Amino acid sequence: MTERRGPPYYTDEELLEILMNSDEETSDIDENEVPTSNEDEVDETESDLEGSEIHCYLLVKNRDEISDDGPPEVIPKLDGAFSWSNQPFEPIIHRYNPATSELKNTFDPNSTPLMCFKQFFSEALLEHIVIETNRYADDTSQTAPSTSRQSKWKPTCRDELYVFLAVTILMVHTKKRKINDYWATDPLIVTPIFSQIISRDRYILLLRNLHFANNEEQKNTNDRLFKIRTVVDHLKAAFSKSLHPFQNLCIDESLMLFKGRIGYKQYIPSKRHRFGIKFFIYVIVKLDIH
């Protein structure tokens, strides 16, 4: 009879080496991020990693070996190596206060869908988008051929932009293969509501010229979200004013399909949409709000 062998035992050094190798094999940054031809972005990312201080915590066999005296001792980083601490990680516990959670007074039972939508996409935000869209369209129209759609551009306004957003949201509920199909006249696939709201050429022209920032100001910043920074900051402030997190939350990740050129786009072969931008999402369990 052969002797029964138990599970393998590893030293602290062997365990740390296994963990480090596992991180390298499953890293999204190394495997899933699509390389770009922009060397400046690569250098910037590497310099950020080199300048950051990473704290790792040693694994110990006996919990009694851990001392509770004072904060963890951090060893200075040498030659790009990790900084180690002999204390376990203790996360910050945020106390839940029911009095300051859930929906704010900005909503009431009589609120219409449009009123709720304007709590986040306010008229001030739409006015900003109108200004930047008209600015970008005017610049591109000057060099566009006289026979192109761009040469026929007419300035947009806030009300038309609300219509544009409404049609775009409606497209999600009525999926078709191409944008032109939403204005098709074939009885088999016709959806007349779209042509009743806005013409196809005008929608495509708005979609092509939609802009959120002044391109001239991008030369003085390294912000990778510069193109949409105003919208992101506005939405963050609007959500903070309108909604506080509930007690039961779930953190999920989502990959938004994107095939354009961007420095933080990822490639994940196992996903249905292999190319995209990864989002980390708070999900409110009670309301199923993302």
Please tell me the pTM assigned to this model: 0.62
The pLDDT profile of the chain, 290 residues, written as one tens digit per residue, is 555 555 566 777 777 777 666 544 444 434 344 334 444 443 443 344 444 444 433 334 444 444 445 544 544 545 556 677 788 888 888 787 777 766 666 677 788 888 889 989 999 999 999 999 999 999 999 888 888 889 889 999 999 999 999 999 999 899 899 999 999 999 999 999 999 999 999 999 999 999 999 988 877 778 888 889 999 999 999 888 887 777 778 888 888 888 777 778 888 888 777 888 888 887 877 765 55
For 225, the 3-state DSSP assignment is coil
Report the distance separating Cα 160 and Cα 203, nearest Å.
10
Helix and strand element counts for the chain (H, E): 9, 7
Residue 166, pLDDT score: 95
Q: Hey, what are 246's tokens? A: 């509930």
Residue 258, pLDDT score: 80
Whole-number Cα distances in Å, 9 to 15, 18, 64, 122, 254 = 9, 13, 20, 60, 38
Report the distance separating Cα 227 and Cα 231, nearest Å.
9
Residue 163, pLDDT score: 96
Report the distance separating Cα 196 and Cα 51, nearest Å.
56
Neighbouring-strand partners of residue 281: 252
Picking from 225, 218, 212, 231, the residue whose alpha carbon sits closest to that of residue 130 is 212
26-55 in b/e burial notation, b at 16+ Cβ within 10 A?
eeeeeebbeeeeeeeeeeeeeeeeeeeeee
Residue 86, pLDDT score: 83
Report the distance separating Cα 142 and Cα 221, nearest Å.
26
Residue 251, pLDDT score: 84
* 157 φ, ψ (degrees, to nearest 5): -140, 175
Report the distance separating Cα 182 and Cα 192, nearest Å.
8
Residue 34, pLDDT score: 39
Residue 38, pLDDT score: 42
- What count of residues does the chain have? 290
